[in-house]
Chains A and B, each alone.
Chain A
Amino acid sequence: MLQNQNAFQSSTREPVLAVEDLVVRFATARGAVHAVDGVSLALAAGETLGLVGESGCGKSTLGRAILRLIEPSQGHIRLDGTDVTHHSRSALRATRRKVQMVFQDPFASLDPRWTVGELIAEPLHIHGIGTRAARKAKVADILAKVGLPPEAARRYPHQFSGGQRQRIGIARALVLDPEVVVLDEPVSALDVSVQAQILNLLVDLQETLGVAFLFISHDLSVVEYVSDRVAVMYLGRMVEIADRETLFAAPAHPYTRALLDAVPQIGGDGAPRRPPLAGDLPSPYAPPPGCRFHTRCPTAQARCGSDIPVLRTLTGGHQVACHFPLATVPETA
């Protein structure tokens, strides 16, 4: 399959995680929804792939499907080359050590009745790792790594602020030394001043631990800051993947361009922006035919309404799914 080969080529190293043509279908009362519709991506060891898109684009569903928290309907998920798409739950438990997740809401994902030490040691318990003393040492070690004092282990989640709770969530995800961590909007619930702390922490941790991040967010500035490569989704489909500099300086897909234009910025000179995208996101129950973006696209042409654009490579790992990609000459900003 052409698409998959492209996904592999885009990363120079052997991918630790490869998603191939993944489809997640939900049967609902209002009909079937293709929340993720044939998405492929690859994540190399130690890199950060940012995954952006607006609500309903399927980015969170994709993240959860990679962890098999939601069962994919079609396609493959490979970890270190092993296809885990159809692993039984018991076989999956072993692979779960390699892929971990950090959730958006640090209030909801931590059991309020457990101490922080117990919460962080739980993954070690589940996988039968280490003696009691070794686990204790590991908990102390990971607490230090995420910037929490050792006495935090004896306290309960409600005694911490939002930012500190997110540190606990990160510690829990990292205590098993995973190869991949899926971060689902990890800083969206936090105040700006605390966001910076967590973003710096994530960058530091990746440098010391060499873990790969799939960083899911709706916030383009945050994604630009943390990512090596960036993937953009729209209504269940991948529309563009490129390395960070290319994507932010010279996006090829009109949707990516529009997303970037819509971000309100400090330091604008007051010059009028390009007008915002018109119209609403179409209903995921009845996505438009052809290119799903054509109903809102400022440069759409007749064939966009009928032919589905395939993800194709422009230059050096820059892939776009558009019949009429924008000129990829970097703009001078």
Chain B
Amino acid sequence: MSEPVLQVRRLNVGFASRGRVTPAVRDLSFSVKAGETLAIVGESGSGKSLTAFALLGLVPPPGVVSGEAIALEGRNLIGLPEKRLREVRGARIAMIFQEPMTALNPVLTIGEQIMEVILEHERVSPRAAKARALELLAQVRIPDAERRFHDYPHRLSGGMRQRVVIAMALACAPAVLVADEPTTALDVTIQAQILDLIDTLKREHGTAVVLITHDLGVVAEHADRVLVLYAGRKVEERAARDLFAAPLHPYTRGLIAARPRLGGRGAVRARLTEIPGTVPGLAAMPDGCAFAPRCPVAEAACTLALPPLVPAGTGSVACLRVGDIHAAEPERLSVVHA
């Protein structure tokens, strides 16, 4: 169980135009073990969704994927021909999307769509596939599965659709499930149901989950490890508990402080900590640390060279000032959350 099922090494994703490639994800490495949830957190433009698509070989042109490896159970997916990729996709690595409707075919019943995934990857009879599909619908807690089997996607609510997409993703018991903002389009009470469902299925099947999200609350409650992306680069990766107890990178700290916390406001309203400015555009990436222009503790050296990822506790962080921050405000790190 300790061997990672997915290992990404030095992944690069960029956009090609007029003979030049503008990098969007740079030098990204991470790994996920069976039964583990790795959350990839970032804001728009961080490259988190692009990373998700790259894992499944789904980056559309003009996107270009390169790098050392996307090793899924020991097999490198980078450079694999489309035909071989298709054998892997849906069988060993599957994906669920932000908007479930985009992943469903409106003219097929949900039962047919789940059966299709099974028949595509396994030599089983349609009868067996149907039995499996019904079982999957029950597994994702769709009530009255027998009847729902014959429903078309538009007849279902957003939450039910996402359950169907999850059933399709899990149809062939993949080793890795990539969930790209799976609950962003859903209401908060439905979000809780779906995230709990993913957790339960992960525990039951030992699936490795890559959870792409912008919501740190979701991460705190559902992830084992957290990878923070900023402008296409990993700035911090730690065990979730450690990261929220003592975030190291100034960006991670900014993200946590910028978010109003439920039940966190007393009678007097403390100002939210702002991160000034906005994420730099792909075409205008600053030299050195991409966060330096917005960073409260940046110094001249930060704008000169890229900060290397250095080991820190249960993970790593890429910040030149991280040692100084530690020394200057040890108390702050310990009281981020009581």
Count class of interface residues, chain A: 35 or more
Cβ-based interface call for B157 (8 A): yes
Tell me whether A114 is interfacial, beta carbon within 8 Å: no
Q: Do B258 and A196 touch (CB < 8 A)?
A: yes
**Number of B positions contacting A (CB below 8 A):** 49
Residue among B195, B214, B241, B274 having the largest count of chain A Cβ atoms under 10 Å: B274
The stretch from A80-88, A97-105, A264-272 touching chain B is A264-272
The answer to the question of A197 belonging to the interface, with a C-beta cut-off of 8 Å to chain B, is yes
B262 touches A193 (CB 8 A): no
Contacts of A265 in B (CB 8 A): 217, 220-221, 261-262
Residues of A171-224 contacting chain B, CB below 8 A: 191-197, 199-200, 203, 218, 220-222, 224
CB-defined contacts of B215 to chain A, threshold 8 Å: 264
* Interface-lining segment among B80-88, B171-179, B184-192: B184-192
A276 adjacent to chain B (CB < 8 Å): yes
Q: Chain B nearest CB: distance from A117 CB in Å?
A: 22
* A281 B258 Cβ-Cβ under 8 A: no
On chain B, the residues within 8 Å of A224 by CB distance are 260, 262-265
Residues of chain A within 8 A (CB-CB) of B214 are 191-192
Cβ proximity bits A35-55 to B, threshold 8 Å, 1 near / 0 not: 000000000000000000011
Instruction: Let me know if A221 and B43 touch, CB within 8 A.
Output: no
Tell whether A280 is near chain B: CB-to-CB under 8 Å.
Answer: yes
CB–CB B220/A277 < 8 A: no
Q: Residues of A with Cβ closer than 8 Å to B? A: 54-55, 161-164, 191-197, 199-200, 203, 218, 220-222, 224-225, 244-245, 248-249, 258-268, 270, 273, 275-278, 280-281, 333
What are the 4 A-B residue pairs with the smallest beta carbon separation, nearest first?
A276-B192, A267-B337, A264-B217, A225-B260
**29 A-B contact pairs sorted by A residue (CB < 8 Å):** A162-B278, A191-B44, A192-B255, A192-B258, A193-B43, A193-B278, A193-B294, A194-B278, A195-B259, A197-B274, A220-B188, A221-B259, A222-B260, A224-B263, A249-B263, A264-B195, A264-B215, A265-B261, A266-B220, A266-B259, A266-B261, A267-B261, A273-B192, A276-B193, A277-B192, A278-B193, A280-B160, A281-B157, A281-B190
Sample of 9 further A-B pairs with CB below 8 A, known A221-B262, A245-B267: A192-B258, A221-B260, A224-B260, A248-B263, A259-B189, A263-B188, A266-B244, A266-B256, A267-B220
